[in-house]
Structures are given as C-alpha cells and as structure tokens.
C-alpha cells in the first residue's frame, strides 16, 4: 500500500475515533440521567406480567359483545369466568449477587443511548460529511430529526404493541404442573435486545431516503428484489428461538423494506434527460 493511500486511511481512523469518543461520552452522560428513572422503566417492561395490557381489554370487550349478541354461547363456554378471573402476578426473580444492579445498568445504558440519539446521529453525519457535496451536507438537520424519530417510534411500537403479545403468548402455556418463573436477566435482556432491533428496523426507510436522494439506490433497483428481502427478513428473524418472536420481527422488517421501496420511488433522485442538458436541441 502506497504512502499516499496510508495517510488518508489513518486520517479516517483518527476521525472515526474522535466521533466514537464523543458518542461514548454522550451515552455515559445519558446513562447517568436515565439512572434516576430506570426503576420506572423496569416497571413498564414488567407491565405485561401483571396481565393488564391492551390485549386483556380487547378480550374483555369481545366477551361482553358475545354476551350481548349470543348469551347462550356466553354461558356455554363460561366466558364470565374469563372476565372475572383474578389477575395472577408473575414477579421477576434473580439468582445471582448484584444481578438487579447490572440489569439497572443495562436499562440505564439503553435509555441513555436513546436520550442522546441526536448527538449519535449528528456524529455519524459528521463522519460521512467530508464525502458529501455542499448541497448534501444541508440535509444534516432532517437526517438527525428523522433518524431519531423513527428509532423512537420503532422502540415504542415494540414496547406497546409487540411486547405484550410475546409475553401473553408465553404465559398462555401455564397449566397445572407448568408455571412460569422468569429470570430478570433473561427477561430484560430479551426485551432490550428487541427494542434495539426494532429501532434499527424502523431506520431502514430513512436510510433508503438518504441513499435515494444521493442516487445510490433507486426504485428500479429495490422493487425487483422483494423476494430476496422477504428471504433476508426470514433469515434475520430465525435467530430467535420461538416462532412468535420470529414472526413479529420478520413482518415489520419486510414492511419497512416495502415502505423503503415506495420512499425510493417518491423521493428518489430523478434522472435528467440528455435532451434537457443540451440547450437549443428539440425535445
């Protein structure tokens, strides 16, 4: 490798280190702030274990509608027992010293990371900015805002919609002689990993928008590859053991690809015709 190529490469590494240091410092500060309400975040993650979720409310409304429209079926299947059944508590357990402390650290770290997402995405932009034109660099504010919002939307979509489905499905296997006993580390680690994954999944349309505006990807390139996107979504989601988690990851991931295809069509860089570039020539 020639000396002229080595020097720019080293400069890129120095710039990357600088950006990573800023990101780490920002995450540490965010972690310190998030530490104060990490207990409330843990309670929010535990909420599906209490049995009070939107799924139980929907189930109750459906049973009451059955009672109104088909009283005989309501009595036959003893749906009143389902509605009036006492809510069973499923407390988390830990079996190692300082295990709750390390869990609190993990929750605070992820919450702190989400709090400083504008700083993180701004540092990412500064790292790639030298390779952009002056016009492209003006997109920094839309990039930071859109990336932050989509990540937060993805995380909240998982916590509010998907997480109760996973936990309720898991608890549905309880029976006589088979009771749940959730370990706090396994429970929280599983949740935090999926929060991060869903946040990144929802970043796909934003990434496609940026690449489409720069002319790197186009609708014509993405549209024919839907079957490969479905296959890739299946492979990525297959790393999770249970079938339900696999589907709740695969479906949003493919939907984000589908949205990205249309984003590339609507906001992609338009090709300039040769006739438009030659003044005085007839169209």
The string of DSSP codes covering 192-204 is HHHHHHHHHHTTH
Whether pLDDT at 278 is above 70: no
For the chain, the straight-line distance linking the first and the last C-alpha, in angstroms and rounded, comes to 49
| Phi, psi torsion values for 126, nearest 5 degrees | -65, -30
Range in 28-42, 91-105, 215-229, 261-275 with the lowest mean pLDDT: 261-275
Q: Comparing C-alpha atoms, which of 138, 257, 265, 242 is closest to residue 201? A: 257
For residue 192, the model assigns a pLDDT of 94
Q: What's the rounded Cα separation, in Å, for the pair 217 and 10?
A: 29
pLDDT average, residue stretch 176-188: 87
Place of tokens 């370990």: 183
Q: What's the rounded Cα separation, in Å, for the pair 138 and 110?
A: 29
Strand, helix or coil for residue 85: coil
- 171's enclosing H/E stretch is helix 163-171
Q: Comparing C-alpha atoms, which of 108, 134, 124, 136 is closest to residue 27? A: 108
For residue 279, the model assigns a pLDDT of 46
pLDDT average, residue stretch 39-57: 85
Its pTM stands at: 0.81
Q: What's the rounded Cα separation, in Å, for the pair 35 and 109?
A: 8
Q: What's the rounded Cα separation, in Å, for the pair 96 and 27?
A: 27
Tokens read off for 257: 């690809």
Contacts of 91 (CB under 8 A, 6+ apart): 49
pLDDT average, residue stretch 104-112: 96
Q: Find the farthest-apart pair of alpha carbons in the chain and give their distance in angstroms, rounded.
A: 86
Confidence of residue 273 (pLDDT cuts 50, 70, 90): very low
Confidence of residue 127 (pLDDT cuts 50, 70, 90): confident
pLDDT averaged over every residue in the chain: 83
Q: Which of 6-15, 60-69, 191-200, 204-213 has the highest mean pLDDT?
A: 191-200
> Do the Cβ atoms of 159 and 136 come closer than 8 Å?
no
């Amino acid at each position: 490798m020639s000396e002229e190529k080595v020097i720019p490469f080293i400069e890129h590494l120095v710039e990357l280190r600088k950006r990573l240091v800023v990101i780490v410092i920002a995450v540490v500060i965010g972690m310190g702030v998030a530490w104060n309400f990490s207990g409330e975040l843990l309670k929010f993650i535990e909420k599906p274990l209490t049995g009070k979720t939107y799924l139980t409310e929907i189930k109750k409304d459906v049973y009451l509608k059955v009672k109104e429209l088909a009283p005989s079926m309501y009595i036959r299947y003893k749906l009143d027992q389902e509605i009036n059944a006492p809510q069973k508590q499923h407390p988390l357990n830990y079996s190692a010293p300082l295990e709750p402390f390390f869990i609190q650290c993990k929750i605070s770290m992820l919450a702190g990371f989400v709090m400083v997402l504008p700083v993180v995405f701004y540092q990412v932009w500064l790292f790639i900015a030298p390779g952009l034109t002056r016009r492209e660099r003006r997109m920094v504010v839309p990039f930071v805002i859109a990336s932050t919002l989509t990540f937060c939307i993805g995380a909240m979509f998982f916590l509010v919609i998907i997480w109760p489905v996973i936990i309720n499905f898991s608890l549905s296997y309880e029976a006589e002689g088979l009771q749940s006993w959730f370990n706090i580390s396994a429970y929280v680690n599983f949740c935090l990993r999926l929060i991060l994954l869903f946040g990144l999944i929802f970043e796909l349309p934003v990434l496609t928008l940026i690449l489409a505006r720069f002319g790197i990807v186009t609708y014509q390139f993405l549209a024919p590859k839907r079957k490969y996107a479905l296959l890739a979504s299946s492979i990525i989601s297959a790393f999770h053991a249970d079938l339900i988690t696999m589907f709740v990851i695969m479906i949003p991931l493919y939907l984000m690809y589908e949205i990205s295809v249309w984003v590339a069509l609507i906001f992609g860089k338009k090709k300039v015709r040769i006739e438009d570039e030659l003044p005085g020539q007839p169209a």
